[in-house]
Structure 1
Amino acid sequence: MKKWLVAMLLGVILTLGACGNADNDTATENLEPGEEVFRNNCASCHANDLSGRGGPSLVDVGSKYSQDEIAEIVTEGKGSMPPMNVEGQNLEELTNWLSEQ
């Protein structure tokens, strides 16, 4: 009985471990560079789908602000949003991607 239980637990652990790794690798492979910067720096408040979580929705943000205005908001903050530490190529990729949303 104990061998059967150990075998079952090992099988479940291996199955769950394999599934988790595959999902994470696939999710980051298909991201545009700006979207990857967004997920690493902004998604915790604005959600991966831009719908907003703790922060406001960024759906249609590109129709409200220019790329330069988005860069200013990111680097200087706005309202309760603090300035973000995104610079250089990452800032360019992020603001370009957001301006297309």
Structure 2
Amino acid sequence: MKKQLMTVLFGSVLVLGACGGGEETSPEEPADTGGDTETETTTVDAEAVIQQNCISCHGENLEGQGNFPALNDVGSRLSQEEILSVIENGQGAMPPNIIEGEEAQAVAEYLANQQ
């Protein structure tokens, strides 16, 4: 009985040992084709940025609340450049640079089209 148990255990160790322990392989990098390289383009989801950064003060539908003005029609009052300036420099209770870079550009463009 002991001999059979030892045989089963030894066989299990061999089988399980053979299954694991392989080297991790990393995916190969694509070969350089020598042609033109395309630049990566990132698209900013302006609506998602607004949901994350603006609705807490300007309201869920950007309708404005309290001392915070409505943004759902801001494009009828301000140009894209003026909206970007407010985002970058702040105005009233709004601090500067809540949104920066490409996100600020995308949000300004989006809001400029809200009329």
- Identify the structure with bigger relative contact order (alpha carbons < 8 Å, sequence gap 6+): 1
The residue type paired with residue 58 of structure 1 is L
Question: Within 2, Cα distance between the matches of 1:97 and 1:75?
Answer: 15
Structure with greater proportional helix content? 1
Alpha-carbon contact 2:88-2:96 (below 8 Å) kept: yes
Which residue matches 2:57? 45
Contact 1:75 1:83 in 2 (8 A): yes
- Give the percent of matched residue pairs that are identical in Structure 1 and Structure 2: 41
For the residue of structure 1 that corresponds to 2:64, the secondary structure is coil
Give the structure 1 partner of residue 104 of structure 2: 91
Q: Distance in 1 between matches of 2:62 and 2:92?
A: 18
Higher-Rg member (1/2)? 2
Equivalent residue, structure 2, for 1:23: none
Aligned equivalent of 1:71: 84
CA apart distance, 1:71:
0.5
Deviation above 2 Å: which 4+ runs of structure 1? none
TM-score computed with the length of structure 1 as normaliser: 0.62
